[in-house]
C-alpha cells in the first residue's frame, strides 16, 4: 500500500469548495458557504487510509463491494481474487485496488481536476491493462460531479464507486438525518453481507426509503444495495439526505444501484453514512443482476453528482 505523500487539489465554484487527494482520488472535504463544518468525512493522517479509514472517500475499483466466492469467470477462464474478508470473500478489490494507488493529475482548473490511473494486466486478479480517468468538477451554485471512465485492452470486470461518508450536521452521529431513496427493490444479504440472489420489494421492509425516513441508532443495520434500475440510466436524482441542521444533499447518478452503509463498523462509529453509486454487488454470481463484464475496448463510464443547499 502506498505511503507517498499525496498532492492536494482544491476546487471551488459558487458556494462550494472541495479538497481532493491524488492518493486514491480521495474526496477529503466538501464545504458549503455559510456552513462551518466539512460535509464528508476525511482525515489528515495518510497512514489511516491504509487502515481503518481506507474506504473513506476514495474511488474504489476495479470491483467495488463484494464477490462472495472471490473468483470470476471471464471467457471460460476462472480468475482467483484476493480473499480479504474472513479469508473467503473478495472485498473492494483487495490491497492492489485503485483506492491505494497514486493517481496522476492529467488536467486541472480552479473548479475541476481530472485524475488518471493505469492498472496493469493482472492487477487485482483481473485481466487487461486498464486506463481509468476520474473528473471531479464543481458547478455553481453548489454541485459537485464525478465522472469515471475506463478502458481495458482485454475482456475484464469493472464496477467503480466513490465511497464517500456524509454527515450534514457536522455532528458525532447521523442520528436524526432524513433519508429518501428512489428505489422500490433491494438485495437481501446473508450473514457475510453478500447478496443472496433474491431481488426483493422494499415495501414492508426496513429498506423502504421511497418516503422520507428519519434515521436513528435503532434503525435496522444498513449495508445493502438498493436497486435503482436494471440498466444504466441518464443522470437522475436518486437520494436525498437532510440533516437536523436543514443542510440537504441531493445525489444523482447514472448507476443501477446505491449501496447504503450506516458506518456502524467504521472508525467514526455511526458518525456518517456511506452512499455508494455502483452496479449491483456480486453480479458475476447472480444471473439476474446487471452484468459488470466489459469487452476489450468497450468504454466504461459513470457519472454521479452531489448538490447541496442550506
| CATH number where 44 lies | 2.70.98.10
Is 3 domain-assigned?
Answer: no
Neighbours of 172 (CB within 10 A): 12
Report the alpha-carbon distance of residue 259 to residue 275 in Å, rounded: 6
- 1 inside domain: no
Please report the pLDDT score of residue 119 as a whole number.
Answer: 98
Counted domains in the chain: 1
Whether 165 is covered by a domain: the verdict is yes
Strand 130-139 and strand 293-294: the pairing is unpaired
What was the pLDDT predicted at 1? 62
Those residues whose C-beta lies under 8 Å from the C-beta of residue 134, and which sit 6 or more positions away, are 25, 59, 103, 114, 115, 116, 117, 146, 147, 148
Give pLDDT tens digits along the chain (310 positions): 666 789 999 999 999 999 999 999 999 999 999 999 999 999 988 889 988 999 999 999 999 999 999 999 999 999 999 999 999 999 999 999 999 999 999 999 999 999 999 999 999 999 999 999 999 999 999 999 999 999 999 999 999 999 999 999 999 999 999 999 999 999 999 999 999 999 999 999 999 999 999 999 888 899 999 999 999 999 999 999 999 999 999 999 999 999 999 998 787 778 999 999 999 999 999 999 999 999 999 999 999 999 999 9
Residues 6 or more apart in contact with residue 69 via CB below 8 angstroms:
88, 89, 285
In a domain, 36, yes or no: yes
3-state secondary structure 8-20: EEEEEECCEEEEE
- Residues 183, 277: Cα–Cα separation, whole Å: 12
Distance CA 209, CA 202 (A): 8
Which domain, by its residues, includes 274?
Answer: 8-309
Domain presence at residue 278: yes
Is-cis flag, bond preceding 307, omega within 30?
no
Other C-beta atoms closer than 10 Å to the C-beta of 245 total: 16
User: Would you say residue 27 lies in a domain?
Assistant: yes
Q: What per-residue confidence (pLDDT) applies to 264? A: 84
Please give the helix or strand (H or E) that residue 151 lies within, else none: strand 143-152
Instruction: Classify residue 2: in a domain, yes or no.
Output: no
pLDDT of residue 4: 77
143 assigned to some structural domain: yes
Q: pTM above the 0.85 mark? A: yes
Amino acid at each position: 500500500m502506498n505511503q507517498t505523500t499525496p498532492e492536494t487539489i482544491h476546487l471551488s465554484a459558487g458556494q462550494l469548495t472541495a479538497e481532493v487527494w491524488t492518493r486514491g482520488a480521495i474526496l477529503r472535504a466538501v464545504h458549503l458557504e455559510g456552513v462551518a463544518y466539512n460535509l464528508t468525512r476525511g482525515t489528515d493522517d495518510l497512514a489511516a487510509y491504509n487502515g481503518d479509514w481506507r474506504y473513506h472517500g476514495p474511488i474504489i475499483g476495479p470491483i467495488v463491494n463484494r464477490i462472495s466466492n472471490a473468483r470470476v469467470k471471464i471467457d471460460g477462464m476462472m480468475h482467483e481474487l484476493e480473499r480479504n474478508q474472513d479469508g473467503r470473500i473478495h472485498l473492494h478489490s483487495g490491497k492492489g485496488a485503485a483506492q491505494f494507488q497514486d493517481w496522476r493529475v492529467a488536467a486541472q482548473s480552479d473548479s475541476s481536476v481530472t485524475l488518471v490511473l493505469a492498472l496493469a494486466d493482472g492487477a487485482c486478479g483481473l485481466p487487461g491493462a486498464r486506463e481509468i480517468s476520474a473528473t471531479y468538477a464543481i458547478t455553481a451554485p453548489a454541485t459537485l460531479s464525478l465522472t469515471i471512465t475506463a478502458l481495458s485492452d482485454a475482456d475484464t470486470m469493472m464496477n467503480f464507486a466513490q465511497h464517500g461518508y456524509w454527515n450534514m450536521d457536522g455532528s458525532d452521529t447521523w442520528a436524526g438525518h432524513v433519508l429518501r431513496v428512489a428505489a422500490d427493490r433491494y438485495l437481501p444479504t446473508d450473514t457475510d453481507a453478500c447478496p443472496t440472489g433474491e431481488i426483493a420489494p422494499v415495501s414492508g421492509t426496513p429498506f423502504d426509503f421511497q418516503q422520507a425516513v428519519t434515521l436513528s441508532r435503532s434503525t435496522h443495520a444498513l449495508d445493502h444495495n438498493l436497486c435503482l434500475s436494471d440498466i444504466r440510466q441518464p443522470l437522475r436524482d436518486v437520494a436525498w439526505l437532510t440533516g437536523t441542521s436543514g443542510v440537504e444533499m441531493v445525489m444523482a447518478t447514472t448507476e443501477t444501484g446505491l449501496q447504503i452503509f450506516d458506518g456502524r463498523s467504521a472508525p467514526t462509529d455511526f458518525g456518517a453514512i456511506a452512499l455508494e453509486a455502483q452496479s449491483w454487488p456480486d453480479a458475476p454470481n447472480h444471473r439476474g443482476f446487471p452484468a459488470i463484464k466489459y469487452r476489450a475496448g468497450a468504454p466504461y463510464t459513470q457519472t454521479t453528482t452531489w448538490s447541496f443547499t442550506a
